[in-house]
Structure 1
Amino acid sequence: MQVCVLGAGIVGLATAYELHQRGMQVTVIDQAQPGAGASGGNGAQLSYSYVQPLANAGLWHQLPELLLSPRSPLKMRPQWDVHQWRWGLEFLRACNRRTAERSTQHLLALAARSRHGFEAMLQAEQLDCNFSNTGKLVLYSTPAGLAAAQQQMELQRGWGSEQEAVSPQRCVEIEPALQHYQRHIAGAIYTPSECAADCLAVCQGLQRLLAARGVRFVLGTRVEGFVRHARRIAAVQTSAGPIEAQQFVLALGSASHQAAKTLGFRLPIYPLKGYSITLDTTEAPGAAPRVNVTDAARKVVFARIGRRLRVAGMAELVGHNDHIPPARIQSLCESTRALFPGCSDFSELRPWTGMRPATPTGVPLVGRHPHAPENLLLNTGHGALGFTLAFGTAAQVAALVAPAA
């Protein structure tokens, strides 16, 4: 069977890999190079046990500060865009305990499946991607924040997540690079099993090995429309001409909404703009972290990828805008210096921004859509968990295409 995957980010490439493993003839189309979008400079953490969606009941009391403070990690710039307002209202409706718990349970199960698939691929293919499994600390600056996190931890424990609450002193024992910051820590949630890797290296490695095995890549090519016969797609119209297939997979990240609109149906996906810097680490012992760290108050994540430290954070609802304000990069630098003052000389920051494709509930859209063409499958809307969930949703899609395999 011929399958065309639209999108060469980590989700599209994982889908291509799973489809090829099941004997499909695969074509991958993207307007850029593999991993050049939201995958390339992401937070690098593989958060299999920490998947709480952005939409949760606790967001309501934080909302005024998050939206109005100039230093807020969450920013919304209202636009004359019906889609933005509709998505925002759907997001607020999802900010309740019942929806958040249902989404968390779904995401944990999906993350467990994704972990199995990703680690099986790494073992089989031996990709060089600076993979590590040193665990993760999520830091809280107030007792109230820690107490709320412990409630979430107990909820997730019932679904198989293994985590523990730890003291500031224990945080430093786990990650000595936090010694300078210990007095600012009320406590943390520690997950020993969490991992990290260079997502861009994974994307590039997957593209190389799949191309060598016969997967066709049509890169630097825009998707301009679709050729339809009745309720099916016959071909995708691209800047390089039409490309035919029997099945199509929509994995275009935040651009999936516009592609769906072209096909006559709506996807509740909106870009959450995030930022990152990547620092070369110093050789001094205990200066740069080796354990993944998330600062819950600042909404900033730190992940070690080889001799580099990836620092990422923020979520802005500002549409498709790839401008990088210096203030945002400065904020990431300040956060890094606060937690790990000696980790780097900060001479090269490698600033990056990406549009993370978010659904209101945080749960990705996978499978068929009642108003979409019959031979179109969705694999999009992963938000900030694209790297974490990619191989789980890819396996779901591949099973729908080749259920007997």
Structure 2
Amino acid sequence: MKVAILGGGVLGVATAWYLAKSGHEVTVIDRQAHVAEETSHGNAGMISPGYSSPWAAPGVPFKAIGWMMQDLSPFMINMKELDGYTLSWMSKMLANCNTKSYQTNKSRMLRVAEYSRDCFVEIRKELNLAYDGRQKGTLQLFRKQKQIDALQKDIAVLKQLGIPHQALDMQGCIEHEPALANVRDKFVGGLRLPGDETGDCYKFTSELAAQCEALGVTFMLNTNIEHLVESNGKIVSVKTDKGVLKADTFVCALGSYSPKLMKPLGLELPIYPIKGYSLTLPIEDESRAPQSTIMDETYKVAVTRFEDRIRVGGTAEIASFNLERPVKRRASIDFVIQDMFPGAADVAKAEFWCGLRPMTPDSTPILGGTKYSNLYLNTGHGTLGWTMSLGSAKFVADIINNKQPDIDPEGLSIERYYG
């Protein structure tokens, strides 16, 4: 069967891998000159099932107001970019800010994320992929005692779901991240999630794409997707600026740009492009650098260790498709790396990046079939595309292959928005 995958980020390439392995003739189409050049390029580097929680949670609207009032705000709204679509999406997200929705959404997210981690274990056994991967966990770091005091609810959820975790005092944090000994006056404790991982998503996707090509996958790069052509309840082709490609099956893995392609087909995807920023810095002093991932809970900034680099990612900005990189948006991520790991990296040589995270109102990705019998979705992963990538891709590939997925599909498809 001929399969056209629309999008060459980590989701699209991973889907191509699983479909090619099962014997299909696969073509990946992307507008960039190389795979993983957009959202997959400079993300925080966390593969964090244990950190999979919906943005929409009880109390978040009030917290968001507080965040916006901070000098180093982890959340901001670009008022110039507010429009009807943005306000509609925000209202849907607010509707999920209740205990019942939070529990439902978190369980769905964890189902995909935990499965995806298992898929990472399997693919490492099968392929020798060099992507600066580390399996040393995530450490949520708390600067204030009130953050420790509020931790019991999160721990209760982790216990209920059987997710390994360790509540640590200051010395416990230092034992896992020795460089924190240099700043012991900056924090009071932490929560370690030992099952989490780190890695460079761009490197991983590039290496996996090479494995795909070895299986016969074709990559149509520098190719703009214009629209899909429908006939009698099926998609028959995709129109690009390089011509028309016919296929038997189509997979949309275009992240934040998925709604624009799907809307003319009568598929309304409630996905919003949440803007995020990162810095990538060369390590100068190994003894002062982190070993894995530190999540600074006060500023919502992740500091992730690659082999000879540090990736610092954070900030959630509602700014539509604006990809400008104002210097002032570096403030919080600049601060955290220099405050928590002073002298570890050369900030003057940092690569400043921004990308768009395709966020649904319930933070759960949209996976599986549509009303068109041969059109499938693998999109809407928000900040967890890297974490959920392999599990989502294998899940969608299994559905295309008419194979029973390894995880329960309940609540993962677009149908949950039309119930």
TM-score (norm 2): 0.93
| 1:8 aligns to 2:8 (yes or no) | yes
| 1:375 aligns to 2:374 (yes or no) | yes
Match of 1:311 in 2: 312
Distance in 1 between the 2:82 and 2:106 partners?
A: 32
> Structure 2: any 5+ residue segments left out of the alignment?
405-419
Counterpart among 268, 274, 277 of residue 266 in structure 1: 268
Match of 2:114 in 1: 112
Distance in 1 between the 2:403 and 2:63 partners?
A: 48
Match of 2:345 in 1: 344
My pick for the range that moved more, 391-400 or 172-181, is 172-181
What pairs up with 1:63-74 in 2 under 5 angstroms?
63-69=64-70, 71-74=72-75
Q: 1:154 to 1:123 in 2, by over 3 A?
A: same
Equivalent AA in structure 1 for residue 182 of structure 2: H
Cα distance, 1:61 vs structure 2: 2.6
SS of the aligned residue for 1:55 comes to: coil
Cα distance, 1:37 vs structure 2: 0.8
SS of the aligned residue for 1:272 comes to: strand
Match of 2:22 in 1: 22
Equivalent AA in structure 1 for residue 260 of structure 2: Q
Distance in 2 between the 1:338 and 1:232 partners?
A: 55
Counterpart among 217, 220, 225 of residue 219 in structure 2: 217
Q: 1:284 to 1:369 in 2, by over 3 A?
A: closer
Q: 1:133 to 1:233 in 2, by over 3 A?
A: same
Counterpart among 169, 172, 178 of residue 171 in structure 2: 169
Structure 1, residues 61-110: CA drift from partner, whole Å, max 9, x if none? Answer: 31222234453111112445221111000011111111111111111121
Report if the CA contact (8 A) 1:150-1:165 is conserved: no
SS of the aligned residue for 1:242 comes to: strand
Counterpart among 231, 244, 247 of residue 245 in structure 1: 247
Distance in 2 between the 1:146 and 1:243 partners?
A: 55
Report if the CA contact (8 A) 2:73-2:332 is conserved: no
Report if the CA contact (8 A) 1:105-1:156 is conserved: no
Equivalent AA in structure 2 for residue 375 of structure 1: N
Distance in 1 between the 2:3 and 2:69 partners?
A: 46
SS of the aligned residue for 2:4 comes to: strand
Report if the CA contact (8 A) 1:273-1:316 is conserved: yes
Report if the CA contact (8 A) 1:222-1:239 is conserved: yes
Distance in 2 between the 1:355 and 1:362 partners?
A: 14
Cα distance, 1:203 vs structure 2: 0.9
Structure 1, residues 335-361: CA drift from partner, whole Å, max 9, x if none? Answer: 111000020132310111000100011
Cα distance, 1:315 vs structure 2: 0.6
Report if the CA contact (8 A) 1:134-1:195 is conserved: yes
SS of the aligned residue for 1:20 comes to: helix
Equivalent AA in structure 1 for residue 391 of structure 2: G
Equivalent AA in structure 2 for residue 31 of structure 1: R
Cα distance, 1:168 vs structure 2: 1.3
Distance in 1 between the 2:83 and 2:328 partners?
A: 26
Structure 1, residues 337-395: CA drift from partner, whole Å, max 9, x if none? Answer: 1000020132310111000100011100001234xx22111100000000000111111
Distance in 1 between the 2:141 and 2:194 partners?
A: 14
Cα distance, 1:264 vs structure 2: 2.1
Match of 2:145 in 1: 143
Equivalent AA in structure 1 for residue 172 of structure 2: R
Match of 2:229 in 1: 227
Equivalent AA in structure 1 for residue 398 of structure 2: A
Equivalent AA in structure 1 for residue 25 of structure 2: Q
Distance in 1 between the 2:59 and 2:342 partners?
A: 31
Equivalent AA in structure 1 for residue 293 of structure 2: N
> Structure 1: any 5+ residue segments left out of the alignment?
none
Cα distance, 1:219 vs structure 2: 0.6
Distance in 1 between the 2:130 and 2:256 partners?
A: 28
Q: 1:280 to 1:89 in 2, by over 3 A?
A: same
Counterpart among 201, 204, 208 of residue 202 in structure 1: 204
Counterpart among 136, 155, 158 of residue 153 in structure 1: 155
SS of the aligned residue for 2:347 comes to: coil
SS of the aligned residue for 1:351 comes to: strand
Q: Superposition RMSD on alpha carbons, in Å? A: 1.5
My pick for the range that moved more, 190-199 or 58-67, is 58-67
Cα distance, 1:181 vs structure 2: 2.6
Query: How many residue pairs align between the two structures?
Result: 402
SS of the aligned residue for 1:366 comes to: strand
Report if the CA contact (8 A) 2:82-2:319 is conserved: no
Equivalent AA in structure 2 for residue 106 of structure 1: R
Structure 1, residues 304-361: CA drift from partner, whole Å, max 9, x if none? Answer: 1111000000111101111111112243122111000020132310111000100011
| 1:300 aligns to 2:301 (yes or no) | yes
Q: 1:177 to 1:398 in 2, by over 3 A?
A: same
Report if the CA contact (8 A) 1:150-1:189 is conserved: no
Q: 1:283 to 1:335 in 2, by over 3 A?
A: closer
Cα distance, 1:178 vs structure 2: 1.0
TM-score (norm 1): 0.96
| 1:366 aligns to 2:367 (yes or no) | yes
Report if the CA contact (8 A) 1:162-1:191 is conserved: yes
Match of 1:390 in 2: 389
Counterpart among 179, 186, 189 of residue 187 in structure 1: 189
Equivalent AA in structure 2 for residue 335 of structure 1: V
**Which runs of structure 1 show a deviation greater than 6 angstroms over 4 or more consecutive aligned residues?**
none
